[in-house]
A and B are shown apart, each in its own frame.
Chain A
Amino acid sequence: MSPRKLVAASLLLVAGCASGPPAKLPPADPIQALQLSGKKVDFAIGETKRLIQRSRGADYLPDLYMRLAELYSERARYAWLVVYERHHQKGDDSKAVDAPEARLLKNLAIGVYDRVMKEFPKYPRDDEAMFLMAHEHRELGEFDEMRSTYEKLIETYPHSKHRFESYLVLGDAAFDKGDLPRAERYYNLILAAPESHVHPLARYKLGWVKVNKDDCKGAVAMFEKILRDKSTPHETKSLVMTQRSLNISREALVDLAYCYPDVYPEKPAPPYLRSLAVSSSDYIAAMRRVANRFFIKQMYAPAVGALRVVLSAGVNDDEAIETARKLYDNIIKGKVLDRPAADVDVIGRVYEHRAFDLRMNKDKRDKLAEEFEIYARDIATRAQVAAKESKTPALYANAAAAYTTYLQYFSKSASKNEITENRAEALLAAGQLYQAGKAFEEVDAIATSPDAKKQARLNSIAAYQQAIEKGGLSRIERLYARGGIRNMGRLVIADSPQDPNIVGIKLNIARSYYEDGEYQRSAELFYALARQYPTAPEATVSGHLALDALRLADNLEGLATVGRRMVADAKLGDANFKREISDIVTKAEQRQVTELTITGESDREEQLLSMAKRHKGSELGEQALFNALAVARTNGDIDRFYELGEAFLEQYPKSNKRSDVTSALATVASDRGDYAQAATYLTAAFNADPNGKEATERLQNAAQIRALLGDATVAGDVKKLVSRGSHVDDLMMVIAESGNLPALEDILSSSPVDGAVADFFRGYFALQRGDREDAVKKLTEAAHDRGGGEAGKDASARALFLLGEIAFDAFNAVVPGADIGKAVQDKNREIETLTQAYNGAVRSGDARWALAGIARMSEAWSKDADFLRDLNLDALSATDKQAVRQVLDQQMQKAQEESKKLRSSCAKKAKELLVFTDAAKACVTDQPFQEKVGMFTNRNSGRKGDPPGAAPIRQALLKNPRSIDSITKLAELYLGTGDTGVALLLIEHAIDIDAKKSASHNLRGIALYRAGRSDEAYAAFVRAVELDPSNARARLNLAAHLALYGYNDRAMAEVKRAGGVPMPHGDPSEHPELRVLSTLSGGK
């Protein structure tokens, strides 16, 4: 065979081995096996006999006989078993079979035992031989022989180990004969002896004796002792060598159960028996027994308890069906309906284990299903009846649970619909509302009649709604319940739109969306309900809920729209409802505006504007626009702010927010240096709320700005201020200093303003128009009125000086006439008057007017000297002429000296006090004093609009209103155009922002100089130099200013400190008279 063929053959062989079915063993024949075993014993018997023959005289010969007897006994057992099996195979299960061979063999065994005892009387196992011989007699039914043999054993061998067993067998024999006292005596003989292996059995037997003597308590005590005795064997074991094996503890437990109902009728069996049981099977066996005993004694409740335990241990054992039946019987008979669900469940489980058990035929299975379905249904239904009788929710809950369990096992039952319905009702009655809602949904699904369906749906909705209202549901349950309300509700609405419950159902559906957080949808439904049933009580509630839902959805626009629609719906709600809705809408809109305003969103301004646009003309639109304005300002979007502010003022001319808007606009206008505009807004703010807390202040600010700007409309502001009792002295001074005298005249002519300043100006204007008398009167009043603050003092000083000027005019008016003496006398009188008047100014404390007065007096004395010198004396005689000339010359000399003295004093005081007026300059420079003193010398060239280049600077200021550079640049531009008013306001603003900036003070000095306020200009230059000593420009400006007024030494000192004289560039921050320094320097 080639290797390839060999491999193939091997494979075939292997394949053949692997694939063939295993050979079936022939069915075992027990008889054959027994016969075979018997033959083996026969063989042993033959061999033993041979050994006996060969062992004559040997010591072990009695052992061989003992063995032979045992073999006969064993062989007899096989012989009996063969006969028994034959009977059994024929269907006869009785153990009372006649086996002659066995009897023969047992007799042989008895003979051998007898021989052993006779031939070997000293054989140590003689007692055993006797014991076994007695046993064989027993087996053969020779009870008398048996008894006598056992008794002989006890008598002959009182210490034999088999004596207890003998007592036991004797006791059993007496027991079997009904001789209970005799049996009890034998058992007690054992128990009286020290503890042995048969004691538990003796007790057990004694227990049964007591049972038979109706002493259950004693029997239980015996059985309990066996069970509690630790020496009791717990396994199946032969306690007597000739008897069958026995599990004594199990037997004791089970038999204890027999007496249990009598001994412990009130005590629950399960815990007691469980405590005694060694294994669960023992326990269950005992419970089974005790259940039977309870049932027999018609104690159904404990019987049910025991059967529940038995069934809970296993529903698939052979006895489970019967146990379940018993359980049902006991439940029904005892009306034990405390755990119907568990009982239905266990019955269902017993059935379930057989439902697909192919070992049972289908017919049997179907019958079982039918039977057990009835049991389960009956229990559940009875539980519901019991609940109805007691009206206890807990019992309803039990019934519902039983129905639930029933439906789990018998879902295809014909009673399913009825049970489903019962279950739903039971759940509802039990207060298990959520479950009831679900159950009624199931009823709806299976119900066939429309009425039943409708009722189930209504019940479901009601149950779900109550469950939600009651609370305690989990999140998923709540969601499910709401979904159920919606589903059931839709079906009811679709099928019965006219049902009287529909309104409530719709309300519940809408609420379910609301509670689910679907606010938009719920709002739609609430509103739909309110529209459809406007007169129903639910309508107004629904209307409110619609708005609330929209509020929660953060849909304030929608809220307003729906709210307005509801208010417009004539049928819906009463006046009160409409008022409430209107109020809600209004508040919501206001809230929306507020929320939009405070939100951090970048588009809040746009949103507010959009809202303002949509609600233009309404209060909401006004608020939205106002807030947009505020947002624009907060964002620094000033252009937008202006634009919106103007739009606001235009759209809402009567708004009570006008004053706030205009005030804010004014502030912003001021910030960007647009003072005329600021004044306009301030006036508008005042007009918008003239009685407001800040109204007067706003008007004062407007007037202040206009006064500085030389605006004629300031007169109106001042008149209003006067009418409100405000002090306007300072304002009038500013107006006058800005050169706006017509406005001042207007104010004084049509306003009841009084005080030193007003009197001064009235005198001043009277003097201007040549009304000397009125001028003197008013100026005198002003001069003597020392009140009114700084402005009042200033006015008084000015009035005193003007009175001097009037006297000076009178002095000048004296001209020489024909009467020289009178002329001189008049002149002297006038100069005396003049001196008196100017001395008033000198004493006023105001250096400017004091020096002016001194200068004027000096001039008057000088003029008086000229007058005296120039007097024509030609009309006098020569003698008189000489004498008069001499007198006049003396007077002239005195006048000249007086003039010189006064001028010297003026110059000295000017240098001392550094006064920057024309009078002081005249004194210092020894120049003639001007004929007419300009009281208000403003050089403001007036407003000419924005100077070129101002627009971009303003734009920059819009972005950064506190930019000093921008403000200063703008101020310089205004200075360039001569608009000192705006320039000064700008510079003051710059100094407000940063008071320590030298350049600002320098520029202020220039502006003040240009405004004719040289004294203040000097102070500004000094401050600029103080703040920054290295500021050469400020120092040179200071020098120029000093030089201009004749303080040359000081000026030179400053020039020296500045490092020399610069070339003038015409820069706005340069002193206009800077060139004076060149002259000064050249002069040196």
Chain B
Amino acid sequence: MRRLWLVLLVGGCGGSNLNLTQDEVDRMPYESRLTIYDGENDVVIARSRRDEATRQIVALKHESDDLDKRLDRSIERFKKAKQNDRISPLKKAISARQKYLSAQISTSEAAVRSADVGIAVARARLDAVKQRQLARTGRATAATIEEYEAKVASLQKWEKETQRRELDIRVEAQKVFETWKQAEEEYARATGDFDSGIWID
């Protein structure tokens, strides 16, 4: 539900009616054009951040699936070599790694949420910039700028909140890394096998 709301919000922000024609933009002073281009660039950067986070999620999920397959191969190898006693400890080690990956995915998902808000902020800022330029050229009253800037401020506040949440999740993920490494060490200690789940399969 929250995600849906977010999408609606982002979508709503995108539907700005501040459509300056290219001709209008071309007629603007250099500084104004630069400001608008900067705003547009910010939107692109925000989108790139979201894309990067999404790509990261895909890569992590792929790695997670791959890990399952590697575990299957390891189990098969253990069975062939009559080393069944290694199966359970390895499952634990792999499970710890899966948890780490899962935490990483959560971090990336948080980054996506954060990026979504970032896009909304960038768009709102662009709208505000355009509105200011409209006011400068007499196509809008100066009083209307306030509304846009209020929206930017409100979104920025929300952005900070999502960023804070993202960082908290990231910190938690780093703790899971420790757990994973400990699980690997335990497996190696118990079986003398330093290779399964790391170097082979």
Q: Are B198 and A524 in contact (CB under 8 A)?
A: yes
List residues 255-284 of chain A with CB under 8 A from any CB of chain B.
none
List A contacts of B198 (CB < 8 A): 524-525, 528
Contacts of B186 in A (CB 8 A): none
State the Cβ distance, B66 to closest chain A Cβ, in Å: 11
Binds B, one of A380-388, A602-610, A796-804: A602-610
Chain B residues lying within 8 Å of A607, measured Cβ to Cβ, are 163, 167
Separation of A607 and B164 alpha carbons in the complex (Å): 8
Chain A residues bordering chain B, tally (CB within 8 A)? 25
Residue in A494, A558, A610 whose beta carbon sits within 8 Å of that of B200 in the complex:
A494
A532 and B188 contacting across the interface, CB-CB below 8 Å:
yes
Task: Convert A553-567 into 0s and 1s, putting 1 for each residue whose CB lies closer than 8 angstroms to a CB of B.
Answer: 000011001000100
Q: A494-B195, A528-B199, A532-B188 are in contact. Are A610 and B174 (CB under 8 A)?
A: no
0/1 string, A532-561, CB within 8 A of B gives 1: 100000000000000000000000011001
B37: CB under 8 A from chain A?
no
Q: Is A454 an interface residue (CB 8 A)?
A: no
Contact with B along A593-605 (1 / 0, CB 8 A): 0000000001101
A528, A532, A557: the one contacting B174 at CB < 8 Å is A557
Interface residues in B144-198 (C-beta closer than 8 Å to A): 156, 159-160, 163-164, 166-168, 170-171, 174, 177-178, 181, 184-185, 188, 193-195, 198
Most buried by A among B121, B159, B174, B198: B198
Taking a contact as CB atoms under 8 Å apart, the answer to whether B177 and A606 are in contact is no
With a cutoff of 8 Å between Cβ atoms, the chain B residues found around residue A489 in the complex are: 199
B97 to chain A, nearest CB (A): 10
**A152-192 with Cβ < 8 A to chain B:** none
Contact A494 B167 (CB under 8 A): no
* Chain B residue with Cβ nearest A497: B195
Docked pose: A876 CA to B199 CA in angstroms: 133
Q: Which of A525, A603, A607 has the most CB of B within 10 A?
A: A603
A614 within 8 A of B: yes
Q: In the complex, A494→B80 CA distance in Å?
A: 13
Q: How far is the CA of A524 from the CA of B156 in the complex (A)?
A: 37
On whether the beta carbons of A532 and B77 are closer than 8 Å, the reply is no
Residues of B within 8 Å of A565, CB to CB, are 181
Q: How far is the CA of A613 from the CA of B174 in the complex (A)?
A: 14
B120-159 CB contacts (< 8 Å) to partner A: 121, 156, 159
Determine whether A509 belongs to the interface, using a CB cutoff of 8 Å to chain B: yes
Q: Tell me, in angstroms, the Cα distance from A613 to B160 when the chains sit together.
A: 16
Cross-chain contact of B163 among A493, A494, A497, A603 (Cβ < 8 A): A603
The contact string, 1 if C-beta is below 8 Å from chain B, for chain A 922-955, is 0000000000000000000000000000000000
Measured CB to CB, the nearest residue on chain B to A610 is: B167
Looking at the assembled complex, report how far the CB atom of A116 sits from the nearest CB atom of chain B, in whole angstroms.
104
Q: Tell me if A490 counts as interface (CB < 8 A to partner B).
A: yes
Cβ–Cβ contact B118 & A602, under 8 A: yes
Which chain A residue lies CB-closest to B184? A528
Interface size on B, residues (CB 8 A): 28
- The answer to whether B108 has its CB under 8 Å from any CB of chain A is no
What are the residues of chain A within 8 A of B188 when measuring CB–CB? 531-532
Q: Which residues 474-489 of A sit at the B interface, judged by CB distance below 8 A? A: 489
Judge whether B98 is part of the interface by a CB distance below 8 angstroms.
no
Assembled-state Cα–Cα distance A531/B77 (Å): 24
Chain A hits for B118, CB < 8 A: 602
A531 contacts B185, CB within 8 Å? yes
| Least distance between B122 CB and chain A CB atoms (Å) | 9
Do A602 and B199 have beta carbons less than 8 Å apart?
A: no
In the complex, which residues of chain B have a beta carbon less than 8 angstroms from the beta carbon of A528? 184, 194, 198-199
Chain A min CB distance to B186 (Å): 12
Assess A610 versus B171: contact at CB under 8 Å? Given A493-B200, A602-B118: yes
Q: Does A506 contact B (CB under 8 A)?
A: yes
Q: Is B64 an interface residue (CB 8 A)?
A: no
B167 contact set on A, CB distance < 8 A: 603, 606-607, 609-610
CA distance A494 to B159 in the complex (A): 49
Bitwise, A979-995 to B at CB < 8 A (1) or not (0) is: 00000000000000000
In Å, the complex CA distance between A528 and B198 comes to 8
**A-chain residues with CB within 8 Å of residue B171 when the two chains form the complex:** 610, 613-614
Nearest CB in chain A: distance from B63 CB, A: 9
Chain A residues whose CB sits within 8 angstroms of the CB of B195 once the complex forms: 493-494, 497
Task: Please pick, from A509, A606, A613, the residue contacting B199 in the complex, using a CB distance under 8 A.
Answer: A509
Interface residue from A506, A606, A614 paired with B164 (Cβ < 8 Å): A606
Q: Is the CB of B199 within 8 A of A506?
A: yes
Cβ–Cβ contact B121 & A561, under 8 A: no
Cα–Cα distance between A493 and B195 once the two chains are bound (Å): 8
- Residue contacts A-B, CB under 8 angstroms, 24 given: A490-B200, A493-B199, A494-B201, A509-B199, A524-B198, A528-B198, A528-B199, A531-B185, A531-B194, A532-B194, A557-B174, A561-B174, A561-B178, A565-B181, A602-B121, A602-B156, A603-B114, A603-B163, A603-B167, A607-B163, A610-B164, A610-B167, A610-B168, A610-B171
Binding site for B on A (CB under 8 A): 489-490, 493-494, 497, 506, 509, 524-525, 528, 531-532, 557-558, 561, 565, 602-603, 605-607, 609-610, 613-614
